[in-house]
Amino acid sequence: MYARRRRVYFLMMGGCLVLFVSAWAFVRLWSMPAAVAMCVVAMVIPPVAAMVANRRGPEDRWWDDPSGDPKSDEWWDELDGRKHRR
């Protein structure tokens, strides 16, 4: 799961760089408004890429650390299928 999120992040950031560099290297020679529009799109990509990279999947748990309450921890472990009921 982590590898897929990381791959998507790097693809999005690579696309951002391609948009920005091509806007000012090539596109500005033909159309300045198109170059500015490409930069605006490139400006939106990094925050979206950060959200994608930090998103948790359905099987990722944020409550993996024990709570300190043995009965509660046992209950959660049973729900997750980690321990069998005795």
pLDDT given for residue 59 in this prediction: 64
Q: pLDDT at position 67, please?
A: 67
User: Domain map of the chain by residue range?
Assistant: 2-58
How many Å apart are CA 23 and CA 6, to the nearest integer? 26
Decide if pLDDT at 21 tops 60: yes
Tens digit of each residue's pLDDT (9 = 90 or more) over 26-83: 999 999 999 999 999 999 999 999 998 888 766 665 656 666 778 877 887 787 777 6
Give the helix ranges, DSSP H, for the chain: 2-22, 28-30, 32-54, 70-80
Backbone angles phi and psi of 64, in degrees to 5: -65, -30
Assessment of whether the complete model's pTM goes beyond 0.95 = no
| Cβ neighbours, 10 Å, residue 15 | 14
